Amino acid sequence: MKVQIVTDLEGISLVDSIDMMDRKSEGYRFACHRLMLDTNAAIQGAIDAGADEIIVTDGHGGGGNFIEGELDPRATQYWDYEDKSLYKDCVACLHIGLHAKPGTLNGFLDHVQSSLAYTNYYVNGKKCGELVQNALFCGSCGVPVVMVSGDEAACAEAAETIEGIECAVVKRGIGRNRAECISSEEALERIRIAAYNGVKKAASIKPYTVEFPATIKLEFPRSDYCEKHLEYYSQYTRVDARTIVHTIDKIGTFLDLTLQQDPE
């Protein structure tokens, strides 16, 4: 039984401050170590539930966050997350370290892709974030997202979006840039159990989808960002000074759902 795990950094256990996102900081190294522990707890849960092939993608900020030698060797790291062949024969996706969509009250480091580049992201008029982007892409390959871990707000968003999803809450946002965390032991146990339960019930969770043709809308913080993107992405049309939209009939690649953060 094949399972895919995609990871992010903001929703990792014991990551409690925005400073830890700075790749040059001591806190970042700690966050990466925690990322490995959370991921390994999910791998253990998936294996206990019967998975015998696990593929892991380091999804935060273009990758480079995994610490060599710390990933459970029973899993394989895979680089090209956009490659649909990754999902062949896959029964479930687990989303570890998730954060909430932009504009979520007490969502720890809430954003979509880049808090500087994008203000809001909508699918068919509904504001959403990276959970939906990932769930839609997996869903287009017939794979359901069955489990997430992250802060309370991210998990609430997941529970509202995907019926039956298992959630491991590892912290609570205090405002945007700080969080109150549960202990390491408790967090890893919650992740392992949620991964186990998610994989066990994978067949009962529907791959996520929306109505097609679907509209993808992006709002930028400044109108010049909007202009720069329009130069590179001719499939989009402008709605107003800071908003662009395009319509898709299906999801061919991840870029149908979004844009690269910086077209330069």
Judged by the rule CB under 5 A, the positions of this chain that interact with Zn ion are 8-9, 60
**Closest to 33 in 3D by CA, of 76, 69, 73, 67:** 67
Indicate the residue among 16 and 205 with the shorter CB distance to Zn ion: 16
**DSSP structure string for 84-144:** GGGGTTEEEEEEEEE-PPTT-TT-TT--SS-TTT-SEEEETTEE--HHHHHHHHHHHTT--
Indicate the residue among 64 and 73 with the shorter CB distance to Zn ion: 64
Query: Measured from the CB of residue 237, what is the shortest distance to Zn ion in angstroms?
Result: 29
| DSSP H helix total and E strand total for the chain | 5, 12
Query: Measured from the CB of residue 102, what is the shortest distance to Zn ion in angstroms?
Result: 13
**Closest to 13 in 3D by CA, of 32, 21, 26, 135:** 32
Indicate the residue among 133 and 243 with the shorter CB distance to Zn ion: 133
Vertex 191, ends 145 and 135: CA angle to 5°? 15
Which residues, in sequence order, are CB contacts of 26 under 8 Å at separation 6+?
none
Query: Measured from the CB of residue 97, what is the shortest distance to Zn ion in angstroms?
Result: 7
Query: Measured from the CB of residue 129, what is the shortest distance to Zn ion in angstroms?
Result: 11
Indicate the residue among 8 and 236 with the shorter CB distance to Zn ion: 8
Q: From CA 144, how far away is CA 205, in angstroms rounded?
A: 6
Q: From CA 208, how far away is CA 141, in angstroms rounded?
A: 10
Indicate the residue among 12 and 202 with the shorter CB distance to Zn ion: 12
CB-CB contact of 184 with 157 (8 Å) = no
Query: Measured from the CB of residue 223, what is the shortest distance to Zn ion in angstroms?
Result: 26
CB-CB contact of 63 with 79 (8 Å) = yes
Indicate the residue among 18 and 239 with the shorter CB distance to Zn ion: 18
Instruction: Report CA Rg, the chain.
Output: 18
Query: Measured from the CB of residue 15, what is the shortest distance to Zn ion in angstroms?
Result: 10
By beta carbon distance, the residue nearest Zn ion is 60
